[in-house]
């Protein structure tokens, strides 16, 4: 489904601040894979996700989604096949627009927009139905501005928007990091459910080792811009946080230095 070949990404190339964010990064996902991505600060996790989403281009290598080479495609065109949820709950929705308007924007992802009405009555019924599944009472507040919702509600809505038009690839970029633990768990459960129901190929970046282990069928660990661990299947199911720390030490020859990941 997703084939990444040998991509490289440098920031501030040719200056003293040059930073190699990704180098020789390769990864290939089969349909329905739910991969959690973990790594220390500056390991290149977010850069990797942003390269796939097209927020910026890569310096070398190629990215294919479902047989289509998207390496040179601008962000908005890739969005036709990619659903995304961001770390910042403010980022995934338009705060000045209503809940139904946000959903209507997502409903038209990948479609050429015309001068027909931005939202129809038929859609409203569909949205009500979907929103009621979120169990947040949003189905009765279709007109409410998204800016009035809590962070957790906004992330749940963003998740619904990302999956409303079934994406070929779902990118979750630390989407629970800004939420309190209880809300984070709820949003994670919701993510699990959406991924299962739609059999979505998913990449989930997280700082939380427990989340990385408990969710998905495959785990990759990144370090200095490349994949240093790739654990799947049976092995993934039996993984513990201690195992993961030990194996990180073996592979990288360093201590895992990320307080956020260890403390949570």
Q: Which stretch binds another protein (CB under 8 A): 15-23, 83-91, 201-209, 234-242?
A: 83-91
Q: Considering the rule CB under 8 A, would residue 142 count as an interface residue with another protein? A: no
Binding of another protein at residue 177 (CB under 8 A)? no
- In whole angstroms, how far apart are CA 198 and each of 33, 53, 173, 189? 12, 20, 19, 14
Q: Where does this chain touch another protein (CB under 8 A) — which range of 17-25, 34-42, 93-101, 253-261? A: 93-101
Q: What is the DSSP letter of 138?
A: G
DSSP code, position 256:
-
CA nearest to 47, candidates 83, 85, 3, 11: 11
Choose which of 12, 96, 122, 182 interacts with another protein (CB under 8 A): 96
* Member of 34, 48, 86, 127 binding another protein (CB under 8 A): 86
CB of 264 to another protein, least distance (A): 26
Residue with tokens 């920031």: 11
Nearest one of 160, 45, 33, 40 to 107, comparing CA atoms: 160
39 or 54, CB closer to another protein?
A: 54
Minimal CA–CA distance to 3: which of 22, 28, 24, 23? 28
Distance CA(116)–CA(133), nearest Å, equals 28
State yes or no: residue 249 binds another protein (CB under 8 A): no
Q: Which is nearer to another protein, 70 or 219 (CB)?
A: 70
Distance of CA 70 to the CA centre of its chain: 17
Q: Is 113 in the site for another protein (CB under 8 A)?
A: yes
Query: Is the CA virtual torsion 133, 137, 141, 144 positive or negative?
Result: negative
In the sheet that holds 202-205, the strands lie side by side as 82-85, 169-173, 202-205, 34-39, 218-223, 226-232
User: Binding to another protein by residue 109, rule CB under 8 A?
Assistant: yes
Residue 164 CB, shortest distance to another protein, in Å, is: 10
Q: Shortest gap between Cβ of 227 and another protein (angstroms)?
A: 25
Which residue number, 110 or 249, has a Cβ lying nearer to another protein? 110
**Cα–Cα distances in angstroms (integers) from residue 7 to residues 20, 48, 71, in the given order:** 11, 9, 10
Among 3, 73, 97, 229, binds another protein (CB under 8 A): 97
Answer for which of 68, 94, 126, 251 binds another protein (CB under 8 A) is: 94
Using the minimum distance from each CB to another protein, give the nearer residue, 7 or 53.
Answer: 53
Query: Which residues of this chain interact with another protein, rule CB under 8 A?
Result: 53, 74-77, 79-80, 82, 84, 86, 90-97, 101, 104-106, 108-111, 113-119, 161-162
């Amino acid at each position: 489904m997703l084939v990444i070949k040998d991509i490289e990404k440098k920031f501030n190339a040719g200056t003293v601040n040059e930073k190699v964010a990704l180098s020789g990064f390769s990864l290939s996902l089969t349909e329905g894979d739910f991969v959690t991505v973990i790594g220390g600060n500056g390991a290149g996790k977010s850069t990797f996700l942003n390269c796939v989403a097209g927020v910026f281009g890569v310096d070398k290598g190629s990215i294919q989604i479902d047989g289509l080479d998207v390496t040179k495609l601008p962000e908005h065109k890739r969005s036709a096949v990619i659903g995304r949820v961001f770390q910042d709950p403010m980022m995934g929705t338009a705060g000045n627009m209503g809940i139904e308007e946000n959903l209507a924007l997502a409903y038209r992802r990948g479609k050429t927009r015309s001068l027909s009405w931005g939202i129809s009555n038929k859609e409203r019924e569909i949205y009500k139905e979907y929103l009621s599944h979120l169990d947040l009472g949003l189905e009765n507040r279709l007109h409410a501005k998204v800016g009035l919702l809590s962070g957790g509600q906004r992330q749940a809505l963003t998740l619904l928007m990302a999956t409303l038009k079934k994406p070929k690839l779902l990118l979750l970029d630390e989407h629970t990091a800004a939420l309190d633990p209880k809300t984070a768990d709820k949003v994670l459960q919701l993510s699990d459910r959406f991924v299962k129901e739609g059999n979505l190929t998913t990449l989930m970046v997280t700082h939380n080792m427990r989340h990385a282990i408990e969710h998905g069928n495959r785990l990759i660990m990144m370090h200095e811009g490349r994949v240093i661990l790739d654990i799947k299947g049976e092995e993934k199911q039996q993984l513990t946080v201690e195992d993961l720390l030990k194996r990180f030490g073996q592979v990288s020859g360093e201590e895992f230095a990320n307080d956020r990941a260890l403390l949570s």
